[in-house]
Amino acid sequence: QKEVEQDPGPLSVPEGAIVSLNCTYSNSAFQYFMWYRQYSRKGPELLMYTYSSGNKEDGRFTAQVDKSSKYISLFIRDSQPSDSATYLCAMTPEGLTDSWGKLQFGAGTQVVVTP
Amino acid sequence: SQTIHQWPATLVQPVGSPLSLECTVEGTSNPNLYWYRQAAGRGLQLLFYSVGIGQISSEVPQNLSASRPQDRQFILSSKKLLLSDSGFYLCAWSYGNIEAFFGQGTRLTVV
């Protein structure tokens, strides 16, 4: 069983709709939860991260973490065609700063926002 | 500002040939460096990480090796490529914060 599960999609939505993405995980030691966005043939870039449980909002993006259910979500409001990309969840246990880049990634969900 | 360079962008190599992918970071000192591989539908898998010159940790057994000859240089190598080594290879760096910064990746096809 993978430590992080993520539906690969593709997920197709019309422009302006809410995009809902999620991941489940099995390692209860995970404390930092991140969402990366990856455009085709490019390296991933960090969208946002949350620590432990709760919600975090940044513009049109909202990240949620439910540690009791081992479930994280990313919502994109008012989706735009430029949001079309692969979204990867990633997570890491709390520890020394030398481990920030040692991330466990989900498979990534391909999102297509149609005009 | 910090930048990460990774090359080549695309590579087609025959089975059994050697491999050398290079990654360099500018604008920071003593970064943590990482090599990830991304296979289709499987997300990113951490292959190697390094916290300093000559210090390499391997996360999974494989046909690949890594070296860090200089503070901001990270090299991924293989003596003999296998078909299963095909994939998208990404170098990344981090330093004392939550974000890992990725290069643009090398798409390797072993034929």
DSSP string for A41-65: TS--EEEEEEESSEEEEETTEEEEE
Query: Quick one: which of A1, A3, A28 has its CA closest to A105?
Result: A3
Tens-place pLDDT, residues B27-44: 888 899 999 999 877 789
Check: CB of residue B45 under 8 Å from CB of residue B55.
no
Give the closest-approach CA distance of A114 to chain B in angstroms.
22
Q: What is the pLDDT of residue B36?
A: 94
Distances (CA, A) of B52 to A30, A85, B26, B61, B66: 25, 33, 15, 21, 13
Per residue of chain A (115 residues), what is the pLDDT tens digit?
678 999 888 999 999 999 999 999 998 888 889 999 999 889 999 999 888 788 999 999 999 999 999 999 999 999 999 999 999 999 987 665 556 667 889 999 999 999 9
Beta strands of A1-115 (E only): which ranges?
4-6, 11-14, 19-25, 30-38, 45-51, 54-58, 61-66, 71-76, 85-93, 104-105, 109-114
Q: B41 and A8 in contact by Cβ < 8 A? A: yes
Reported as a single tens digit per residue, the pLDDT across B78-96 is 999 999 999 999 999 987 6
pLDDT confidence bin for B97, thresholds 50/70/90: low
What pLDDT does B80 receive? 96
Distance from CA of A69 to the nearest CA of B (A): 22
Structure tokens at A89: 């969840």
**What was the pLDDT predicted at B39?**
85
Residue B108 has pLDDT above 60, yes or no: yes
How near does any CA of chain B get to the CA of A85, in Å?
14
Give the closest of B43, B93, B99 to A107, CB-based: B43
Residue of B98, B107, B108 for testing the chain A interface, max A β-carbons within 10 Å: B98
